[in-house]
């Protein structure tokens, strides 16, 4: 199963981080609009990513919900009918919820740098060090930590969990007495 080492952080200064990502990648990045629908599963996470252009990906992944670098194992398959697949999976499994975001993707070496504006949450940065077969988790963590420093991301800005978790937590807090 493919794997990556991830870091996710809240952004204090989106402009600065975006500029650094441009410099490190040598590109202006690629804008991707996504709607992720999460489904109820007994273990891990299952989401259908709709790229809003008639294509999508069904993604299953497992990773710990901890701050800092974490290993994520995943499986991905493409689809040309994301809306139909959302309906079938919702009928079969039930939905946890949806995350809508605009993502700017920068490639820095083997790392995907995501600068995300998440509807209802705000701005975030996500690093995904795409692991090669021969690499250890420790090598991925080293790469992620180094890139985090180069991007000016502070340890206190790191977050755990997925955007879906943060949205659900916000909903629970809004309904708390």
DSSP 55-75: -EEEEEEE----SS-EEEEEE
Domains of the chain: 3-175 (2.40.320.10)
pLDDT band at 173 (very low <50, low <70, confident <90, very high): confident
Q: With 90 as the cut, is the pLDDT of residue 107 above it?
A: yes
116-167 pLDDT per residue, tens:
999 999 999 999 999 999 999 999 999 999 999 999 999 999 998 889 999 9
Q: What is the torsion angle, in degrees rounded to the nearest 10, for the CA atoms of residue 67, residue 73, residue 78 and residue 82? A: -50
H helix intervals, the chain? 14-25, 82-93, 137-151, 163-175
Residue 87 to residue 136: CA distance in whole angstroms: 38
Of 123, 154, 151, 144, give the one whose Cα is nearest residue 72.
144
User: And the tokens for 90?
Assistant: 């919702």
Mean predicted confidence (pLDDT) in 77-102: 97
The number of residues in the chain equals: 177
Q: What is the pLDDT of residue 177?
A: 74
Contact in structure between 101 and 164 (CB atoms under 8 Å)? no
What three-state secondary structure class fits 176? Answer: coil
Mean predicted confidence (pLDDT) in 90-100: 97
H helix intervals, 98-162? 137-151
Q: With 90 as the cut, is the pLDDT of residue 47 above it?
A: yes
């Amino acid at each position: 199963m493919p794997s990556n080492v991830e870091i996710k952080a809240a952004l204090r200064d989106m402009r600065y981080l975006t500029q650094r990502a441009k410099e490190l990648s040598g590109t202006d990045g690629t804008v991707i609009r996504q709607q992720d629908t999460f489904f109820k599963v007994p273990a891990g996470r299952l989401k259908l990513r709709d790229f809003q252009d008639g294509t999508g990906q069904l993604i299953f992944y497992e990773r710990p919900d901890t701050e800092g670098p974490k290993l994520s194992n995943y499986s991905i398959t493409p689809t040309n009918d994301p809306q139909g697949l959302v309906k079938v999976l919702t009928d079969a499994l039930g939905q946890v919820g949806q995350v809508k975001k605009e993502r700017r993707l920068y490639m820095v070496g083997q790392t995907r740098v995501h600068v995300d504006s998440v509807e209802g949450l705000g701005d975030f940065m996500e690093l995904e060090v795409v692991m090669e077969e021969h690499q250890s988790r420790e090598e991925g963590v080293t790469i992620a930590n180094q890139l985090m420093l180069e991007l000016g991301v502070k340890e206190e800005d790191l977050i755990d969990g997925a955007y879906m978790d943060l949205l659900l937590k916000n909903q629970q807090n809004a309904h708390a007495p």
